[in-house]
Structure 1
């Protein structure tokens, strides 16, 4: 019976050591999991910041593009008006074809005349 008791004590000691090792392994795993979670939260925060920065950049570019699109038709009209003046268009033609106010049409013609004189 003492040998049986002694064998049980050895078995209990072995089981206690295995429980200790298992508990230690679980503690290490939990710490690794916590570390991984913290790291993932940091990465997620950085990605959120980058995403917001990119969204702001995209919005800014969209606004600039929209402004450019709104300006472009006017630029085309003035370019067309300048070409018409070079080809000899008068104030009435500029007003009709380019939808310019009379004062702007007169100014474009006057500028063309002035530039033509200074070129000669």
Structure 2
């Protein structure tokens, strides 16, 4: 068995590096919590390659409310999504919640 060097014991005294600041959500702008979903604004089925960080509840709301073809038309333009009345109400409501907040999402009325 190998012997431990004295330096191995001294590593515990070093201060830990600070965690990086949380990444803001692409839709609502709030800091993300412990769970981050990497969302494709342009769906992969429509050729989308870029991803953006989002809260799970924000992603569920977008996926529930828009079809893939609608999301493809919006592309990376988050303002187009925020102009929708339902999404604007959702973002105003979720702005008061903590970053790890999660709730069931209601389906779009068709």
With the shorter chain as reference, the TM-score category is: under 0.3
TM-score where L is the length of structure 1: 0.22
Greater fraction strand: 2
Higher-RCO chain (CA-CA 8 Å, sequence separation at least 6): 2
Greater fraction helix: 1
TM-score where L is the length of structure 2: 0.23
